[in-house]
Chains A and B, each alone.
Chain A
């Protein structure tokens, strides 16, 4: 009996091992595959992600602290996981007739935990005797190799680390959530879950720290100067060598002392530098690059990459590795990828030489860096899948390319004691950039052809008043990078943690602006339970989980330590319940009030358009807060789905635009029923 992590993986495993000759059966509504291989009868089934979760064994849902946790089938923990019960029942039935068990879930902490729990709780304690199939791609070749080389499952630190992580995160989340929610309730607010996860706390802390810098930023003026030069039939501009002047007077002085004078070109220098290829993709690198190039959020990129993996088009994406071992067979992958017309010319070129990829510093014992498998898509890919697939293939090819060469050009134009600079650069040999194509991002900036001693006339000096810029908000990509740098979260969970901050209303989704609720949660924690938002504590736990993952043990002590550190923090929160409640309550009230405001009223230009529910019909509609002063602006609203105001009003009519969330994907709507661009806000 083979247990896979997802139904698509089960189908691929069955096809690979049976040569496409498996029989499909339905057991209690769950698809399973049967076939014979080398004289043994196989049955392959799949989980659907986690089928077991940790929870509190007591019935009481408001009391804290809670330190006893148990594993339950997911349907008992979360009502939305009803299908888990059916799937568990089907797997249990199949296990009764099985003599050997193989865990073929993804080879990482989560996959190992999923497989371990099923073997332990559903298959009657087979977690120690089961075998393990490990693979990094779902290609036939890799799967057959994995099943011909099964390893013992027992003693895996991955499952122990996964189970410990789940227990720690549950204890952390449930206690803080209850402490905060109870405080808000005690302060008179109707019950609403206010929670903060173990990694979410410090992550939200980064955002709040930056938000405060932004909101308290006072720009200071400065000036930049540039000169316009003429001579030798050329006219061009060059920046003054000092980047900024603190006073207008000092910038003006440059103009007075330079205009009309002669400039002499000096220190003209052209040099060539080598630019090495970018390292192969870890999941973090892929997420950052997809954000830079396509604007995809990290969680979206991960979802797309997982679909491509399940389609056997790319290797397992949840990897921290930036290295490509020779065992993946570079030549075969490039040759096969060359069968796709877009890559055939580059593949032929690469195959003429020795194949030695550039390697990054990060490695991952379980999986290599993300790479294509060489398989051709068997169905038309969606635009986003196609974009990520192309990026992965091109990055893989680029890793084998030679260094590119760039010519950098610099020159100084001296006007007495003043100096202006010319700086440019161009690619003289594309090397790997040819394979990476439009993704490489290097631009050519030519400078005028000047030589040492050339003379030009300064015909003008321009002064530009500028202001210091406020620090940029984190975007989903730079926040992911910050989490990596601070070593909090894991490669598999970081994107989800960011998405949860948005979902909980701590951060607005579009520009990662921290909401009043997010500010309040962090400020409250900083005052009463600072460890909860401390990077240090979370990092220490991650470090110890890595030891468990590597087989070093210590999970029981780690759980005890976590509980000990929580106890003190919870006691502080409890002792200050009234103050904590007041703070959270006022943020919740402000958040609720704000959620009804859609934007400025374009009719009276004084009030705000708000979502109002009619007392008579119970239906919601848009009305102006200035109604009592005579403004009659109003509009109907969709009655289903949740509504969220977009950050900008409609370009056609200036009425607010909303997102209606509830169907497969949110849709945008200008609320003005008479908008001239109706349907195209």
Chain B
């Protein structure tokens, strides 16, 4: 099975790199919610996607999760 984000070999539903990126995005979300007081999941993904400090695989997975 191929990773739907990048076409690499998938280890679960994603490749190992996007699995790792997804894990880190999920860990970061509560920190963003706390930092701003309130933030929806989709808003958070949009922000992560736009942020120049986000890593390449993180931007890709944010875009994928945003749908």
Contact = CB atoms under 8 A, between A and B. Distances in A.
A217 B55 contact: yes
Q: Which label, helix, strand, loop or mixed, suits the secondary structure of the A interface? A: mixed
Contacts of A523: 16
A297 B24 CA distance: 34
B21 to A, nearest CB: 5
Contacts of A218: 24-25, 27-28, 48, 54-55, 58
A361 interface: no
Interface string A202-241: 0000000000101111111110000000000000000000
Contacts of B12: none
Contact of A468 (B36, B48, B53): B53
A455 interface: no
A248 B35 contact: yes
Interface string A100-123: 000000000000000000000000
Contacts of B51: 219, 467
A219 B53 contact: yes
Given A470-B53, A586-B9, A217 B58 contact: yes
A217 B35 contact: no
A470 B32 CA distance: 16
Contacts of A583: 9
A246 B58 CA distance: 22
Given A249-B37, A583-B9, A586-B9, A219 B17 contact: no
Contacts of A582: 9
A216 B35 contact: no
A247 interface: yes
Interface string A243-261: 0001111000000000000
Contacts of A482: none
Interface in A447-483: 467-470
A216 B55 contact: yes
Nearest to A466: B53
Q: Which label, helix, strand, loop or mixed, suits the secondary structure of the B interface? A: helix
B32 to A, nearest CB: 7
B40 to A, nearest CB: 15
A314 to B, nearest CB: 42
Contacts of B8: 586
B57 A246 contact: no
A218 B36 CA distance: 16
B32 A220 contact: yes
Contacts of B36: 221, 247-248
Contacts of A469: 53
Contacts of B28: 218, 220
Nearest to A220: B31
Interface in B1-33: 8-9, 16-17, 20-21, 24-25, 27-28, 31-32
A188 to B, nearest CB: 15
B37 A217 contact: no
B9 A215 contact: no
A246 B35 contact: yes
Given A212-B17, A215-B17, A470 B35 contact: no
A218 B45 CA distance: 11
B17 to A, nearest CB: 7
A248 B21 CA distance: 26
Contacts of A212: 17, 20
Contact of B21 (A215, A221, A586): A215
Determine which residue in B20, B21, B25, B31 has the highest number of CB atoms from chain A within 10 A of its CB, and name it: B31
Contacts of B27: 218
B12 to A, nearest CB: 16
Nearest to A217: B55
A54 to B, nearest CB: 37
Interface in A582-626: 582-583, 586
A357 to B, nearest CB: 44
Contacts of A246: 31, 34-35
Nearest to B8: A586
Contacts of A470: 53-55
Contacts of A249: 37
Contact of A217 (B9, B16, B32, B54): B54
Contacts of A220: 28, 31-32, 35
Nearest to A582: B9
Interface string A309-352: 00000000000000000000000000000000000000000000
A219 B34 CA distance: 14
29 contacts: A212-B17, A215-B17, A216-B17, A216-B20, A216-B21, A216-B55, A216-B57, A217-B54, A217-B55, A217-B58, A218-B27, A218-B28, A218-B54, A218-B55, A219-B48, A219-B51, A219-B54, A220-B32, A220-B35, A221-B36, A247-B36, A248-B37, A467-B53, A468-B53, A470-B54, A470-B55, A582-B9, A583-B9, A586-B8
Interface of B: 8-9, 16-17, 20-21, 24-25, 27-28, 31-32, 34-37, 48, 51, 53-58
Given A216-B21, A586-B9, 13 more contacts: A212-B17, A214-B55, A215-B21, A215-B57, A215-B58, A216-B20, A217-B24, A217-B54, A218-B25, A218-B58, A219-B51, A247-B36, A469-B53
